Amino acid sequence: MRLRTVLLGAIILALSASSVAAPSDVSAALSDLMTKLQLQHAKLWFAGKLSNWSLANYELHQIEANLEATGRLLANPSQADRAREQIRAVRQALQSKGVPAFMTSYAGLTNECNGCHRSSGYAWIVMQIPLTLPVPNQLFVDQVSEGRAIANATCGTCHVVADAAKEAPAFRPSPPAFPEIINRPSFSADGLRHFLTSGHRRLGPDQAMPNPRLTESQVEAVVAYLETLRADQRR
């Protein structure tokens, strides 16, 4: 009987402790989610502003997932409903790939974030359109699209860049097509960088290729495009 009483008391104490700790746990979880959302909110802005639609869609998906998790922790889950409406507006803007439409919908999402803060008693937490990059170690331009454009403009005069069935070579015999180059066993990103950053006027085994004189960022964009092209072919 005494043991039973002791066990019952321990259970009551444990339940009491959990009920006391629960609000603190919820607050900590919400704080973590808000921190994630703040970073994703900033990344979304620069991705959309720079027309990096793949990255923008990725960040919007992350925002949506974290917002759903936030809604499950709120005392009134319907507080997140209006933000969901704004997310749908942002998604439509991303699908249209229009920067002005994106900027308008993003401003609406930002305003809705602040409205939710005010209605929840956190009016002093004010979001704004980011003024500086949120992280220094991420590129927000669409590097692959940039590399594709450089390849078509600079290399496409001689090489077939993407699809031999759709592109006619300018010279006969034609230089190797990009799909052929990326499937060579010797192909590597470092090798391509070394090739494109050569200081010689002409490049290649027979010195047949004029040096395109690309900048470092342009070289990296072309490398990113070719690596993506190879990865797409191997999927």
pLDDT tens sequence across 114-127: 998 888 888 999 99
CA distance 207 to 211: 9
Q: Is the predicted pLDDT of residue 15 greater than 60, yes or no?
A: no
User: Which segment, 91-95, 162-166, 172-176, is predicted with the most confidence on average?
Assistant: 91-95
pLDDT score recorded for residue 232: 87
**What pLDDT, in 10s, does the model give residues 69-124?**
888 887 776 777 778 889 999 999 999 999 999 999 999 999 999 998 888 888 99
Banded model confidence at residue 20, pLDDT cuts 50, 70, 90: very low
Banded model confidence at residue 29, pLDDT cuts 50, 70, 90: confident
Mean of the per-residue pLDDT values of the chain: 84
Q: Is the predicted pLDDT of residue 58 greater than 90, yes or no?
A: yes
Query: What structural domains does the chain harbor?
Result: 2-119 (1.20.120.290), 143-234 (1.10.760)
